[in-house]
Amino acid sequence: MIYLKNMGLLFAAILFSVIVAEFGLRILFPELNKPAAATRDHSDPLLPKQVSHKHKKLPNTANFDELGFRNQVADCVGSDVPAKRILLVGDSNIAATFLSDEDAPGNVLSKQLNSSNEYCYVVDSFGVSGFGPDQSLFAVRAKTDAAHYDHIVFHVFADNDLGDLVRNNNFFDNEKLENHGYCYVKPVYLDNFLLFKAIKSAFYKVFDYRIVSTYAEHSLGHSEKCSLPKYIDRYADPQKSFAQSLERSETEYKISSSGKIVPYMMNDRYDVSVACVADTAALEELQINATAIFKEFQEILDDRNIDGTILIQPSESDVTDNHPGSRGELARYCEKYNPRNISDFVLRGIQNSGYKGGVVDLYDTFENCSGCYFSVAELERDNHWNKHGVFVAMELLSKKIKY
C-alpha cells in the first residue's frame, strides 16, 4: 500500500513538473505557442496543392488561390493585344514560399515576357513543395484538362527530384505513369506541446539524433502502404552524411520494390546515388521512369497543340560551395562524382524520350553563382534559389519561350 502511495506521489510530482514546465515555456516563448499553419491542402487525394501561409523565418506571406496557383501580379490586364497563357509547374522552387508574390517565379516570368507589347502573357504558376517530376506530370494532366494553355514550362530540380521517382512509387510495369495517391506526414499530438519540442531539440543537439514525431497517412486511405525511412541530416558531417544518403537511397529502392511508398516531403535527400553513379539497380529504373515522364509530356503537348519547355535547375550542392556537403566535399568521398552528373542524367532522360520541345539547362549559368541561392546568413542551410536566382532563371526562360 505504501509502495502504491509513493508511486502515486511520484507520478503526481512528475505531472506537476511537466505542467509547470509547459506553461513556463509558453510564457517565455509566446511566439512559439501557436499551432503550425497548414502549408498544403490534401483535399484532392490525387494532387495536393500549396495554400497561403506566412514563412516561418522570413517576413513574407506566400499567397495562393483556391486552385493552388500562386497569386498573379498582372502587368497587362485589360490590354488590347492577344493573350498567351503559360503554365509553370514544379516543386518548392516554383512554389517559392520563401519569396514575396511579386518575386515568385511565375510573376517574374510574366513581367519579363510582358516587356514587349506584342502579347499579353498570363502565367499560371503551380508549384508544390515535395513534388517530383511524376507529381508535376500529374499537375500538367489536371491543369491542361481544366484550361487551355499556349505553353507549358516543366521544372525539374536536379537535386532531389529523381529520388522522388522511387519514393513515390507511381509506376506500373515501368511503362505508364499511374496516380495511386500519395503518402504525406502528419505531426503527432505531442507536437502541440512546447516541452516535447524542447526535448526533441535538446536530443538533436546533444546526441545528433533527430526524434521524428510524425506518422504517415495515405491520401486514398491506404496508410499501410506508407513507410517512414530513417531521417537523414544532409548537412551533417559530409563523410557521414554521404554514407547515410547512399544507404538511404538503397533503403528507398527496397521500399519501392516491396510496393510501398515513402511520404513526400519526408526529408527529401540530395540524389547522391545519381551524382556519384552508385552501382544500384535503382539507377536503371530511374532512367526508365524519367524517360517515360518526358515522353508523356511530349504526348500531352502534341495532343493539345501546346508548346513546351523543360527547365532544369541544378542543385546548389553541384554548382556552389555554399554549404557543407557541396561539390568540393562530395568529390573527396565519391570517386565517380561529377557536378554535372544529375543534370546530365535528366538530359539523357529527355533525349531518350523523343521530346521535341525546348530545354533550358541552367547549369552553366548557375555554376559558381553563390548569389543565386540563399546564403547561410540569409536562410541558414536552405538549398532553394533566392530572388536573384529566380530573376536570372526567368530571364533566360522568357527568351526561350517568347513568341
pLDDT value of position 331:
86
Alpha-carbon separation of residue 115 from 292, 309, 403 (angstroms): 36, 20, 12
pLDDT value of position 325:
72
Q: What is the pLDDT of residues 36-57, one digit of tens each?
A: 556 889 999 999 999 998 887 8
301 vs 174, more confident: 301
pLDDT value of position 212:
60
Most confident of 275-284, 347-356, 372-381: 347-356
pLDDT value of position 257:
87
Position 75 pLDDT exceeds 60: yes
Question: pLDDT band at 389, cuts 50/70/90?
Answer: very high
Alpha-carbon separation of residue 331 from 93, 199, 276, 283 (angstroms): 26, 36, 9, 19
Q: What is the pLDDT of residues 106-131, one digit of tens each?
A: 999 999 998 777 788 999 999 999 99
CA dist., res. 391 & res. 370, Å (int): 14
pLDDT value of position 172:
64
pLDDT value of position 380:
74
The x, y and z cell numbers of residue 19, run together, are 505542467
pLDDT value of position 215:
78
**Amino acid at the residue 70:** R
Position 155 pLDDT exceeds 60: yes
Count CB atoms within 10 A of the CB of residue 289.
24
Q: What is the pLDDT of residues 204-222, one digit of tens each?
A: 666 555 656 567 899 999 9
CA dist., res. 350 & res. 386, Å (int): 27
Average pLDDT over residues 133-147: 96
Most confident of 21-35, 235-249, 346-360: 346-360
Q: Which of these ranges, 71-75, 172-176, 228-232, 294-298, has the smallest mean pLDDT?
A: 172-176
* C-beta separation of 178 from 297 below 8 A: no
CA dist., res. 343 & res. 345, Å (int): 5
pLDDT value of position 211:
59
73-81, Cβ contacts within 8 angstroms, sequence gap of 24 or more: 73/101, 73/102, 73/107, 73/110, 73/111, 74/110, 74/122, 75/110, 75/111, 75/114, 75/120, 76/114, 76/120, 76/121, 77/120, 79/117, 79/120, 81/117, 81/118, 81/119, 81/120
**Amino acid at the residue 117:** N
Question: pLDDT band at 169, cuts 50/70/90?
Answer: confident
132 vs 240, more confident: 132
* C-beta separation of 48 from 182 below 8 A: yes
What average pLDDT is seen over the chain? 85
The x, y and z cell numbers of residue 226, run together, are 506508407
pLDDT value of position 8:
67
pLDDT value of position 216:
86
Position 392 pLDDT exceeds 80: yes
pLDDT value of position 235:
55
pLDDT value of position 346:
97
* C-beta separation of 208 from 229 below 8 A: no
Average pLDDT over residues 66-89: 84
